[in-house]
């Protein structure tokens, strides 16, 4: 008798295991929106406006790329993962940017209760002019999901 119940229990455990692991790994991560420097920007990045992600090309979100007060630097390379967010921008008037960092929170950012005071992204932003590094800073960013 005991063997029969043990077999049924083991069979149930084995059939339920894929369902539990599927739920855990299928959690969506969608950080689409704009990211602004938390606090005052360093002097070397006073022209910085925002980092913009818009994978779905939503009309209410900014065009993807790094925006300064005077230009939009579209992405040349882009990796968007929770623990690995990196990009290099196209060169505009001799200037391009790189970023290497990570998101501090998972989930769907546009559906969450994120405020504009709590950092959700951190990493190193670097500016290059004519191929030479001219500025770098370790920064934290807050989220804005558009209106």
Range of lowest pLDDT (13-17, 48-52, 102-106, 142-146): 13-17
Q: How many other C-beta atoms are found inside a 10 Å radius of the C-beta of residue 93?
A: 9
In sequence order, which residues have a C-beta less than 8 Å from that of residue 34 and are 6 or more positions away? 50, 51, 52, 53, 61, 62, 143, 144, 145, 146
Strand-pair category, 132-144 with 95-103 = unpaired
- Confidence band for 147, pLDDT divided at 50, 70 and 90: low
Residue 30 near residue 110 (C-beta atoms within 8 A)? yes
Give the start-to-end residue ranges of the domains of the chain: 33-144
C-alpha to C-alpha distance for 123 and 30, rounded to whole angstroms:
18
State pTM to two decimals.
0.79
In tens, the pLDDT along 41-73 reads 999 999 999 999 988 777 777 889 999 999 999
């Amino acid at each position: 008798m005991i063997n029969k119940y043990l077999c049924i229990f083991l069979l149930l455990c084995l059939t339920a295991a894929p369902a539990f692991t599927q739920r855990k790994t299928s959690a969506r991560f969608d950080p689409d929106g704009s990211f602004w420097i938390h606090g005052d920007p360093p002097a070397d990045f006073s022209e910085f406006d925002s980092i913009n992600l818009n994978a779905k090309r939503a009309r209410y979100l900014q065009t993807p790329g790094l925006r300064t007060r005077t230009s939009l630097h579209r992405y040349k390379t882009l990796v968007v993962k929770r623990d690995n967010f990196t990009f290099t921008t196209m060169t505009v008037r001799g200037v391009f940017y790189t970023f290497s960092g990570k998101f501090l929170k998972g989930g769907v950012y546009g559906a969450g209760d994120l405020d504009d005071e709590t950092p959700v992204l951190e990493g190193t932003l670097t500016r290059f002019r004519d191929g030479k590094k001219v500025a770098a800073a370790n920064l934290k960013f807050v989220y804005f999901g558009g209106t």
